[in-house]
Structure 1
Amino acid sequence: MSTETSDRILSWHSNPSRPRYTPPPGAIDAHCHVFGPMAQFPFSAKAKYLPQDAGSDKLFSLRDHLGFARNVIVQASCHGTDNAATLHAIAVSEGKARGVAVVNPAIGDDELHAMDAGGMRGIRFNFLKRLVDDAPKDKFLEVASRLPRGWHVVIYFEADILEELRPFMDAIPVPIVIDHMGRPDVTQGPDGADMKAFRGLLDSRPDIWFKATCPDRLEEPAGPPWDDFARAVAPMVADYSDRVIWGTDWPHPNMQNAIPDDGALVDMIPRIAPTPELQQKLLVTNPTLLYWPEEIGSES
């Protein structure tokens, strides 16, 4: 892959609108990433995409522009298992960021606990074949059994392999968070096969959470106003209001052909969480429980 700037992917909006919706005080963007900067934090030799730099300064500027208070930074696949860029962003956040790591399953306990001290609160298992070459379930389960206290596992997959993954997820000994609801076909509506299957997963154990995120991905290439996403997801948010979180997904990996306006993404929030009570849970209570539990006296 070329490292020339002109050949690197730009996937985020250069001038996002200011949202009409104002998030509640303490709102958390619970799914975002940082890319580089490459000169300081090189990308993985195995990366499937090579983005332009989108470091912590850009992320925190966007956070303030959109009206959020904190971030949960998820390790991007372009950095592989080198979490230095994510850990750096957390370190310079002045306590306003926590993170989710991607690790080699052979990682030692000392390194896991060092990541805990650095603000990581979970690890991510990616099953998207277009992004990763190998996803060894047995090794994932082993490292999941050694996580620091209070950590969880984040899983990213597409709807067509949900049933295949059920035994694996059943064996994970810590809470689980599902990225982007397992990428259902939202055009099927709230009662479609994908949403019913996902509800079945949520009903199978009480410690599975999900991210009501990425209308831009799940309705690509339709673009805003993402009406199918709103119709399909709002009932999920209402029915599982204690187990749902939200994030921008900035800087939108691999979305260079349909770059979303982050302000428009924020304006989706009241469409899927129409009451102040739901918005408080989605943006404050639930992500705080997962990532800053010490603030509410939880040991979850």
Structure 2
Amino acid sequence: MKSCLPPDPHPTKPQQALPPLACDAHCHVFGPADRFPYAPDRSYTPPDAPYEDLVALHDFLGLDRGVIVQASCHGTDNTAMLDAIARGEGRYRGVAIVDDGIDDKGLETLDRGGVRGVRFNFVQHLGGRPDMRVFWRVLDKVAEMGWHVVLHLDANDIVELNGDVLAKIRVPFVIDHMGRVQAAEGLGQEPFRLLLALMRDNPLAWVKVCGAERVSAGKRPFDDAIPFAGALIDAAPDRVLWGTDFPHPNIAKDMPNDGGLVDLMFRFCPDEDLRRRLLVDNPARLYDFA
């Protein structure tokens, strides 16, 4: 079981101010492990990144809202996420990980706790494709809740799942981290062409234009990810989201600076109207912020 590096402890102040009610639509809380233990069958162990660290970062960067995404290291125990949402008093929403044992009462508890979606990992190093019977049964349940599903995919999964899975989903679905396409393969690579077509043609499809450090072939500031993010924003400006991915678990290349990621977002989304949709309007609509 590998251990993850900690985030950059010295975020830089963004060069430009974010709009009021800007949302970090992809962030995590980890632990503290002595209060919220990690899953015994986890594939990695992160350093603790508790609620207090997330709030301090958001206050420093100028982010008024956030969506806390359950990560696989906590498994289906969503307690740390629910605790953070409750302490945020309306500032945060959540995306849970659930299994086939979740019942209506459990879903209602999550909904009251601020959860608005479920997440499934397809990424190979996190266990690969889930049990698809469970996947479809859970999607039937969340459809009744008015929720969405978040899909954590690798680029090759977009090719594999495009016809037999993605085209059959009947709830809004969000693809994490630009589908983890690889910038070195260029804009013409098949996974990215399929992702762009999906965003143009399927009104249920959303994408997060974050995770530039996972897309980039190099080191920060990860500018080789800019054309990919820009193309996705142009394809579906009302169905794009952005987030920091704090505290950046499983970074194998160069650990990003969170202030630098905000500056990068301004470079790939320089238009003020599009930026407001990306940071304010779209997450408010999908995550039911008051």
The verdict on a shared fold, with TM-score over 0.5 as the criterion, is: yes
What SS class does the counterpart of residue 93 from structure 2 fall into? strand
Q: Is the 8 A contact 1:22 1:67 kept in 2?
A: yes
Instruction: Give yes or no for the alignment of 1:186 onto 2:186.
Output: no
Unaligned runs of 5+ in 1: 2-6, 296-300
C-alpha separation between the residues in 1 aligned to 2:221 and 2:77? 36
Match of 1:24 among 12, 15, 19: 19
Return the offset for 1:143: 0.9
Q: Is the 8 A contact 1:27 1:284 kept in 2?
A: yes
C-alpha separation between the residues in 1 aligned to 2:221 and 2:128? 34
C-alpha separation between the residues in 2 aligned to 1:159 and 1:256? 17
| Deviates further, 158-167 or 109-118 | 158-167
User: So what's the TM-score if we normalise by structure 2?
Assistant: 0.94
Instruction: Give yes or no for the alignment of 1:242 onto 2:238.
Output: yes
Q: 1:175 maps to what in 2? A: 172
Unaligned runs of 5+ in 2: none
C-alpha separation between the residues in 1 aligned to 2:72 and 2:42? 7
Instruction: Give yes or no for the alignment of 1:231 onto 2:231.
Output: no
What SS class does the counterpart of residue 24 from structure 1 fall into? coil
Return the offset for 1:133: 5.7
Instruction: Give yes or no for the alignment of 1:129 onto 2:137.
Output: no
C-alpha separation between the residues in 1 aligned to 2:129 and 2:173? 20
Return the offset for 1:238: 1.9
Q: Is the 8 A contact 1:11 1:256 kept in 2?
A: no
C-alpha separation between the residues in 2 aligned to 1:178 and 1:283? 16
Q: 2:258 maps to what in 1? A: 262
What SS class does the counterpart of residue 249 from structure 2 fall into? coil
Q: 2:151 maps to what in 1? A: 155
Instruction: Give yes or no for the alignment of 1:274 onto 2:259.
Output: no
Aligned residues: 288
User: So what's the TM-score if we normalise by structure 1?
Assistant: 0.91
Equivalent residue runs for 1:1-300 within 5 Å: 8-132=3-127, 135-147=130-142, 148-166=144-162, 167-220=164-217, 222-255=218-251, 258-292=254-288, 295=290
Q: Is the 8 A contact 2:187 2:228 kept in 1?
A: yes
Return the offset for 1:51: 1.2
What SS class does the counterpart of residue 92 from structure 1 fall into? helix
C-alpha separation between the residues in 1 aligned to 2:178 and 2:4? 25
Q: Is the 8 A contact 1:181 1:210 kept in 2?
A: yes
Q: Is the 8 A contact 1:179 1:211 kept in 2?
A: yes
Q: Give deviations 1:195-228, integer Å, cap 9, x for gaps.
A: 21211222342110000001111115x1123221
C-alpha separation between the residues in 2 aligned to 1:232 and 1:256? 20
| Identity within the alignment, % | 42
| Deviates further, 76-85 or 13-22 | 13-22
C-alpha separation between the residues in 2 aligned to 1:131 and 1:13? 23
1:164/1:133 CA distance change after superposition, 3 Å: closer
Q: Is the 8 A contact 2:97 2:120 kept in 1?
A: yes
Structure 2 counterpart of 1:280, one-letter code: R
Q: Is the 8 A contact 2:159 2:191 kept in 1?
A: no
Structure 2 counterpart of 1:274, one-letter code: P
What SS class does the counterpart of residue 165 from structure 2 fall into? helix
Q: Give deviations 1:147-196, integer Å, cap 9, x for gaps.
A: 14321000011111213212122222211010012111223443443321
Q: Give deviations 1:216-264, integer Å, cap 9, x for gaps.
A: 11115x1123221112221221221011000000000112652110010
What SS class does the counterpart of residue 219 from structure 2 fall into? coil
